Amino acid sequence: MALRARGIRVRRGPLALTFLAEGEADTTRVAYAITKRVGGAVERNRLRRRLRAVFVDLAREAPGSVPAGVLLVSAGPDVSGRDPEELRNDVKRLLAALETRRFGGEAP
């Protein structure tokens, strides 16, 4: 409930993100909300695994690019047809939009 009430929401393309800076300062928890319009359970789980891999890679390559807190990633039906590089770029744009929204374009 707190995520919906106090979270910061951003949307870029077929992805949306809700963020709440709560809990331990260095812990990141990510949840995925993928609608049935994306496809059956197999397709939704495949997309969840792909998104999880992108977030892990970005966090490993650029520490701090995935903020600590609670993140809810929502995906619409258009995201399932994206190739890996497009999906990665979508997530990077989403995280950049979040940082802009959190800090107003200033570095943290």
Predicted local distance difference test score (pLDDT) of residue 58: 94
- pLDDT, tens digit, 9 for 90 and up, residues 31-66: 999 999 999 999 999 999 999 999 999 999 988 889
| Pair of tokens at residue 103 | 């800090």
Predicted local distance difference test score (pLDDT) of residue 37: 92
DSSP sequence for 53-108: HHHHHHHHHSTTSS-SEEEEEEE-GGGGG--HHHHHHHHHHHHHHHHHHHHTTS--
Longest Cα separation, the chain: 41
Q: How confident is the model at residue 4 (pLDDT cuts 50, 70, 90)?
A: confident
pLDDT at 106 over 80: no
Confidence (pTM):
0.88
Q: Which domains does the chain have, with CATH numbers?
A: 2-8+18-103 (3.30.230.10)
pLDDT at 25 over 90: no
